[in-house]
C-alpha cells in the first residue's frame, strides 16, 4: 500500500501588536483551532503537485526554484519560495502530491497564507531534512517565501504564531533570534470566548494598502538613518517631529506613534495575562483597537466611503458588549476580521446580533491550539 503522510498547521490570531512585527517590535499572538491539513504522497518525480478543493491544481518543478514574477501573489510562489529555502540549506527535495484542505478561510485575518507556509515548511523539514529546523526557522522560511516570492512585505508574527503554537509573547528586536515566551492562560476558564468576526470585506487588491504601512514607516526611519523604528528611541522621534513633518506625511508620523505605543502596550498586556488581571488586559485590548483606528488607520481603505465593513463590525461589538470584554481590529486590517473577547453569558446574544447584520456564519467562536506545525500521521 502506498505510504502517505498527514500534516497540519494552525491559523493564528493576533492578540496585540498590530503591525509592530515588521518594525522589530513586540507581539502577543496565538495559534487557533482552525487548520490547514495536507495529505502527502511521494510521487517519484521532481514535481510538487498541490490539489485544493475549488482551486486549480498547482505544479512546482524542483529544478527551477527561482523567483517567477508572473507567480507573485499566488500559492505556487509560496511553495517555490519555501522549497528554495530548504535547498539553500542543503536539503535534497523530492516530488510529492499533496491534497490540501483548510478551515482557515482566505481573507479571514487568521493568516491562511502563514498556515500554508508553515504547513509546507513542516512537510519538507520532516520528510527531506531530518527535522533539523526549529519552529522558529520554519517561520522565518515562511516569511522569506511571502516577502521575496509572493511579493508581500509582511513581518514574522503570522508565521511564528502558526509554527510555535499556543499563546505566545514574541519580541522581534533581533528577528534572527526572536525572544519567545509561551503564556499559560486559559481564556475559557476565565469565562470568556474568543470570537473572530468576518466583516465581509474582501482582501483582494489591498496589497498596496498593506505595503503603504511599512513603506511610510521606512520613510520615517530613513530620516534618522535607521532601518526600523525599534532602532530609534521614542524620545528622539518626538523631539524631531517639527523637522520630520517637512520630510514625511502626517499619516506616516501617526503610524509611527501607533507602533511606539503598541510595543509598550504588548509588554504590559503580557504581564497582565501572567498575573491573570483581565481588567487590565481588556482595557489595553480596547486601547490597541483605538490606536489602530486613530493612528495606524487600517480600518478601511483610503477614500472608501460607502464600504466600511470593519468599522461597522467594530461598532456592532461596541454596542453588543455593553462595556464588557473587549474588541479590536484583527490582523492586517482594511478588510477581513475583528477580534472580540466575549463573556460566556453574553455569547448567544452577541453572536445573534453580529450575524443579524453581517450574515449567518460570520461570528466564529474559537479556541487556542497548543500545537504549531505538526505531522499527525
Same domain for 320 and 336, yes or no, is yes
**How many separate domains does the chain show?**
2
Ordered strands of the 363-366 beta sheet: 326-329, 337-343, 192-198, 363-366
Same domain for 127 and 199, yes or no, is no
What CATH number does residue 214 fall under? 3.30.70.890
For position 154, what pLDDT does the model report? 77
Q: Classify residue 263 by its DSSP letter.
A: H
Q: CA-to-CA distance for 142 and 267, rounded, in angstroms?
A: 26
> What are the helix (H) ranges across 132-205?
135-144, 157-164
Same domain for 234 and 133, yes or no, is no
CA 12 from chain centre, in angstroms, equals 6
Q: Which domain holds residue 105?
A: 5-184+370-375
Give 224: exposed, middle or buried? Use CB within 10 Å, 0-12, 13-18, 19+: middle
Same domain for 326 and 342, yes or no, is yes
Bridge partner residues of 12 (DSSP): 31
Give 159: exposed, middle or buried? Use CB within 10 Å, 0-12, 13-18, 19+: buried
- Place 109 in a pLDDT band, splitting at 50, 70 and 90: low
Same domain for 159 and 197, yes or no, is no
Same domain for 224 and 320, yes or no, is yes
Q: Calculate mean pLDDT across residues 92-109.
A: 86
Same domain for 51 and 152, yes or no, is yes
* Grid cell in block for residue 298: 487600517
| Mean pLDDT estimate for the chain | 93
What CATH number does residue 116 fall under? 3.30.230.10
Tens digits of residue pLDDT in 244-271: 999 999 999 999 999 999 999 999 999 9
Tens digits of residue pLDDT in 170-228: 999 998 888 989 898 889 899 999 999 999 877 667 778 888 999 999 999 999 999 99
Q: CA-to-CA distance for 363 and 216, rounded, in angstroms?
A: 33
Same domain for 206 and 348, yes or no, is yes
Same domain for 229 and 168, yes or no, is no
Same domain for 262 and 211, yes or no, is yes
* Grid cell in block for residue 176: 534572527
Amino acid at each position: 500500500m502506498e505510504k502517505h503522510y498527514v500534516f497540519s498547521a494552525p491559523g493564528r490570531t493576533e492578540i496585540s501588536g498590530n503591525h509592530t512585527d515588521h518594525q522589530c517590535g513586540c507581539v502577543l499572538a496565538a495559534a487557533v483551532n482552525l487548520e490547514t491539513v495536507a495529505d502527502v504522497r511521494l510521487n517519484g518525480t521532481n514535481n510538487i503537485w498541490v490539489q485544493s478543493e475549488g482551486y486549480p491544481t498547482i505544479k512546482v518543478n524542483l529544478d527551477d526554484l527561482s523567483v517567477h514574477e508572473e507567480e507573485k501573489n499566488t500559492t505556487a510562489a509560496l511553495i517555490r519560495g519555501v522549497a528554495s529555502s530548504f535547498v539553500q540549506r542543503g536539503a535534497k527535495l523530492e516530488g510529492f502530491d499533496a491534497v490540501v484542505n483548510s478551515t482557515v478561510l482566505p481573507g479571514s485575518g487568521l493568516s491562511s497564507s502563514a498556515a500554508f507556509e508553515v504547513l509546507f515548511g513542516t512537510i519538507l523539514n520532516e520528510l527531506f531534512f531530518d527535522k533539523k529546523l526549529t519552529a522558529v526557522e520554519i517561520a522565518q522560511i515562511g516569511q522569506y517565501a511571502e516577502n521575496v516570492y509572493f511579493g508581500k512585505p509582511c513581518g514574522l508574527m503570522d508565521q511564528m504564531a502558526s509554527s510555535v503554537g499556543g499563546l505566545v509573547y514574541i519580541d522581534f528586536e533581533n528577528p534572527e533570534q526572536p525572544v519567545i515566551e509561551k503564556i499559560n492562560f486559559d481564556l475559557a476558564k476565565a469565562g470568556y470566548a474568543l470570537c473572530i468576526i468576518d466583516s465581509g470585506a474582501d482582501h483582494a487588491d489591498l496589497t498596496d494598502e498593506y505595503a503603504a504601512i511599512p513603506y511610510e514607516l521606512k520613510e520615517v526611519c530613513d530620516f534618522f538613518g535607521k532601518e526600523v523604528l525599534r532602532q530609534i528611541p521614542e524620545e528622539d522621534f518626538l523631539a524631531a517631529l517639527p523637522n520630520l513633518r517637512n520630510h514625511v506625511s502626517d499619516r506616516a508620523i501617526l503610524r509611527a506613534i501607533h507602533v511606539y505605543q503598541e510595543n509598550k502596550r504588548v509588554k504590559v498586556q503580557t504581564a497582565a495575562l501572567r498575573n491573570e488581571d483581565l481588567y487590565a488586559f481588556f482595557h489595553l485590548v480596547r486601547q490597541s483597537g483605538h490606536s489602530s483606528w486613530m493612528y495606524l488607520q487600517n480600518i478601511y481603505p483610503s477614500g472608501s466611503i460607502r464600504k466600511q465593513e470593519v468599522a461597522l463590525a467594530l461598532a456592532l461589538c461596541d454596542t453588543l458588549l455593553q462595556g464588557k470584554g473587549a474588541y479590536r481590529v484583527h490582523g492586517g486590517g482594511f478588510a477581513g476580521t475583528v477580534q472580540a473577547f466575549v463573556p460566556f453569558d453574553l455569547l448567544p446574544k452577541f453572536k445573534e446580533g453580529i450575524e443579524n447584520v453581517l450574515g449567518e456564519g460570520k461570528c466564529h467562536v474559537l479556541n487556542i491550539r497548543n500545537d504549531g506545525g505538526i505531522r499527525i500521521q
